[in-house]
Amino acid sequence: MTRRVVVTGVGMVTPLHTTTEGSWEALVAGQSGVGYVTRYELGEDFPVRIAAEVKGFDPLPYIDKKDLRKMDLFIQYAVAATEQALEMARYRVRPEEADRVAVIIGSGIGGFPMIEEMHKTLLEKGPRRVWPAFIPAVIVNMAAGVLSIRTGAKGPNVAPCTACSTGAHAIGDAFKLIQRGVADVAIAGGTEAAITPLAIAGFAAMHALSTRNDAPEKASRPFDAQRDGFVMGEGAGILILESLEHALDRGADILCEIVGYGLNSDAYHITAPCADGDGAVRVMRMALQDAQMAPEEVDYINAHGTSTPLNDRIETLAIKAVFADHARKLAVSSTKSMMGHLLGAAGGVEAAVCVLTIRHGVIPPTINYEYPDPECDLDYVPNQARRQDVRVAMTNSFGFGGTNACLIFKRFED
């Protein structure tokens, strides 16, 4: 018999706000977190000078000053989001159950900012000036590592690294570990902080990014006919998952249930989705099957919706293939229109958005939706949040390498 798994806490650090509540309010208000890159001086020769940076983040409430040099920004965001999620769940790891608590937090890229800084140090000052804590500060699994040390969680500790699907895979894998009885509690999600000159230049060289430098707030426009690429974002999204029994035993406030997880691969191209949306179709079906749910039960999809010409067209195609007539009835929105694309953290924050959507009965909109694209013809909840009862919410994540993930959350019912 498989066990039921529930969500009891969510934590977010996003380009809209450094707190969960602040981020949710901004999402519902339809605000944009995109602006000019402020942390680095980007010359006119940069084809892209805009991003969705986290603004006004102060790590000191969460992390001792002396430890900051040992944690690049992606780890700091994960710590802040996890503390918020634990606070919402009113949960602290008790020593007697420590080996039943998992930490599964991944990152798509890891510590780009410090890698670039240390490489500069290496070239300018030589190998003897590279910091001793450089490696543990930048490697992808260290958000999970640091958080097990901080929380005392001694169960499974892993870090998926599956590009833009990372956060969703982390949560899905955590769900399965609890469902199968390997762990009772999991701290799971994704984190990213890679808005650096090198990363921007690299993504821009692929022509993956919007070049709308003259109107940053309008740059991320998923499903709109004038979309021209994604906007890099950063932050972290963390969920606290528990077996239903564990949550009930401690009298936790249950936010919703996680019921479905799909994961697969396109086996097609390093960056482009399959032309017919095959991988996306199969991963949504896999999640529905895992949830033992008919497509008609889904009320809302938080789309991958990156704002690239290709993704949004093919994701729309895939949704129509999976949901048939019901595709016209369900609400689909891309919160990347407001937060930008948080890469490895995207699946984490978008899972958190699904949880809060079910909790509050409000669907955040797709902003900047102005010009209809005949090939993107679903209800994208344009520009205004919608008050609507949502019983089942799905979230899609598709990553470079053709790696896909899909999660399904459901209102908790006895």
Catalytic residue set = 164, 304, 341
Least distance from C-beta 193 to another protein, angstroms? Answer: 21
- Piece in contact with another protein (CB under 8 A), picked from 17-25, 60-68, 177-185, 372-380: 60-68
Name which position in 41, 43, 45, 65 contacts another protein (CB under 8 A): 65
64 makes contact with another protein (CB under 8 A) = yes
120 makes contact with another protein (CB under 8 A) = no
Among positive and negative, which fits the CA dihedral 352, 401, 193, 136? positive
Query: CA geometry: angle at 334 spanning 351 and 313, to 5°?
Result: 120
Least distance from C-beta 138 to another protein, angstroms? Answer: 13
Nearest to 113 by CA among 42, 215, 192: 192
131 makes contact with another protein (CB under 8 A) = yes
- x-or-dash pattern for another protein, window 228-247, by CB under 8 A? --------------------
Phi first, then psi: give them for residue 262, nearest 5 degrees. -120, 145
Q: Which is nearer to another protein, 66 or 92 (CB)?
A: 66
Cα 73 from Cα 107, distance rounded (Å): 11
What distances in angstroms separate CA 285 from CA 21, 246, 358, 399, one per listed residue? Answer: 32, 29, 21, 18
Nearest to 110 by CA among 172, 196, 206, 19: 196
Least distance from C-beta 61 to another protein, angstroms? Answer: 15
133 makes contact with another protein (CB under 8 A) = yes
Name which position in 136, 152, 202, 361 contacts another protein (CB under 8 A): 136
Least distance from C-beta 149 to another protein, angstroms? Answer: 11
Contact residues for 299 (Cβ-Cβ < 8 A; gap 6+): 330, 331, 388, 389, 390, 391, 392, 393
**Is the Cβ–Cβ distance between 75 and 142 less than 8 Å?**
yes
129 makes contact with another protein (CB under 8 A) = yes
- Piece in contact with another protein (CB under 8 A), picked from 63-71, 161-169, 342-350, 371-379: 63-71
Cα 295 from Cα 92, distance rounded (Å): 37
Least distance from C-beta 354 to another protein, angstroms? Answer: 39
Q: Binding to another protein (CB under 8 A): which residues in 69-88?
A: 69-70
Name which position in 43, 132, 251, 374 contacts another protein (CB under 8 A): 132
**Is the Cβ–Cβ distance between 114 and 72 less than 8 Å?**
yes
With CB under 8 A as the rule, give the number of residues binding another protein: 12
Q: Which is nearer to another protein, 133 or 248 (CB)?
A: 133
Cα 342 from Cα 190, distance rounded (Å): 9
Q: Count CA atoms closer than 13 A to 316's CA, side-chain side.
A: 22
Name which position in 1, 2, 43, 128 contacts another protein (CB under 8 A): 128
Least distance from C-beta 128 to another protein, angstroms? Answer: 7
Q: Which is nearer to another protein, 133 or 267 (CB)?
A: 133
Cα 40 from Cα 293, distance rounded (Å): 47
Q: Which is nearer to another protein, 65 or 92 (CB)?
A: 65
Beta bridge partners of 10: 239
Q: Which is nearer to another protein, 137 or 170 (CB)?
A: 137
- Piece in contact with another protein (CB under 8 A), picked from 5-13, 58-66, 111-119, 156-164: 58-66
Q: Binding to another protein (CB under 8 A): which residues in 246-285?
A: none
Instruction: Give the start-end residues of each E strand in 70-214.
Output: 101-106, 157-158, 185-192
Phi-psi region of 380 (alpha: psi -120 to 50; beta: other; left: phi over 0): alpha
145 makes contact with another protein (CB under 8 A) = no
Q: Which is nearer to another protein, 131 or 371 (CB)?
A: 131
Contact residues for 126 (Cβ-Cβ < 8 A; gap 6+): none
Site residues (vs another protein, CB under 8 A): 64-66, 69-70, 125, 128-129, 131-133, 136
